[in-house]
Structure 1
Amino acid sequence: MWAQQTNLGEDPHGGHGGHGGHGGSELPPFSFTRGLEFGGDDVFLVGCLIVLALYMTGVVRLRRRGDSWPLGRTLAFTLGVATIALVTCTGLNQYGMVLFSVHMLQHMVLSMLAPILLLLGGPVTLLLRALPAGGRGRRGPRDVLVRLLHSRYVRVITSPIFTISLFIGSLYGLYFTPLFDTLMDSRVGHLGMMLHFLAVGLVFFWPVMGVDPGPHRAGYPLRMLELFATMPFHAFFGIALMMASDPMIDTFANPPASLEVTALSDQSAAGGIAWAFSEIPTVVVLVVLLVQWFLSEERAARRHDRAAKRDGDRELAAYNAYLSSLGSGAR
Structure 2
Amino acid sequence: MVDAVAATLLAAGDHGGHGGHQSADLPPWTLERLLAWSPDAFFLVLCGALLAVYLAAVLRLRRRGDRWPVGRTISWTVGQLLVVFTMNTGMNDYGMVMFSVHMVQHMVLSMIAPIFLVLGAPTTLALRALRPAPRGRRGPREVLLAVLHSRYAAVLTAAPVTIAFFILNLYGLYLTPVFDWMMASYWGHVLMMAHFVAVGYVFFWPIIGIDPGPRRSGYLMRMLELFMGMPFHAFFGIAVMMGSTLIVDSFASPPASLGIDPLADQTAGGGIAWAFSEVPSVIVLLALLVQWRRAEDRQARRKDRAADRDGDAELAAYNAYLASLAARDQAVSR
TM-score relative to the length of structure 1: 0.91
Partner of 1:212: 211
What is the Cα deviation at residue 249 of structure 1? 1.5
- Structure 2: distance between partners of 1:5 and 1:177: 19
> Cα deviations across residues 162-204 of structure 1 (Å, max 9, x unaligned)?
1110110111000011111111111121111111111101111
Partners of 1:238 and 1:115 in 2: how far apart?
A: 20
Q: Which residue of structure 2 lines up, in the alignment, with residue 72 of structure 1? A: 71
Q: How many residues align?
A: 319
Distance 1:256 1:309 in 2: 73
Q: Give the deviation of 1:310 after TM superposition.
A: 2.4
Q: Are the counterparts in 2 of residues 80 and 117 from structure 1 also a CA contact under 8 Å?
A: yes
Preserved contact between residue 23 and residue 97 of structure 1 (Cα < 8 Å): no
Kept in 1: contact 2:121–2:209 (CA 8 A): no
Does residue 94 in structure 1 map to residue 79 in structure 2? no
The verdict on how the C-alpha distance between 1:250 and 1:23 changes in structure 2, with shifts beyond 3 A counting, is: farther
Identity of aligned residues (%): 59
Q: CA RMSD in A?
A: 2.1
- Structure 1, unmatched stretches of 5+, are 11-21
Query: What are the ranges of 5 or more consecutive residues in structure 2 without an aligned counterpart?
Result: 11-20
Conservation of the 8 A alpha-carbon contact between 1:160 and 1:226? yes
Mapping of residues 181-330 of structure 1, within 5 Å: 181-330=180-329
- Cα distance in 1 for partners of 2:195, 2:262 equals 25
Tell me the residue number matched to 1:19.
none
Is the Cα–Cα contact under 8 Å of residues 40 and 93 in structure 1 kept in the other structure?
no
**Does the CA-based 8 Å contact 1:8-1:25 persist in structure 2?**
no
Q: Following TM superposition, by how much is the alpha carbon of 1:7 offset from its aligned partner in structure 2, in angstroms?
A: 4.7
2: distance between equivalents of 1:277 and 1:210?
Answer: 21
- Is the 8 Å Cα contact of residues 241 and 268 (structure 2) preserved in structure 1? yes
Cα distance in structure 1, aligned partners of 2:123 and 2:216: 15
Distance, in Å, in 2 between the alignment partners of 1:323 and 1:248 is: 68
Q: CA deviation at 1:324?
A: 2.5
Question: Cα–Cα, structure 1 residues 26 and 103, in superposed 2: closer, same or farther, change >3 Å?
Answer: same
Q: Distance in 1 between matches of 2:315 and 2:78?
A: 48
Deviation at 1:312, TM superposition (A): 2.3
Hey, what does 1:6 align to over in structure 2?
6
Using structure 2 for the length normalisation, give the TM-score: 0.91
Query: Equivalent residue of 2:206, what SS?
Result: helix
Aligned counterparts of 2:164 and 2:64: Cα–Cα separation in 1: 42
Alignment of 1:54-203 (within 5 A): 54-203=53-202
Note if contact 1:210-1:217 (Cα within 8 Å) is conserved in structure 2. no
SS in 2 for 1:251: coil
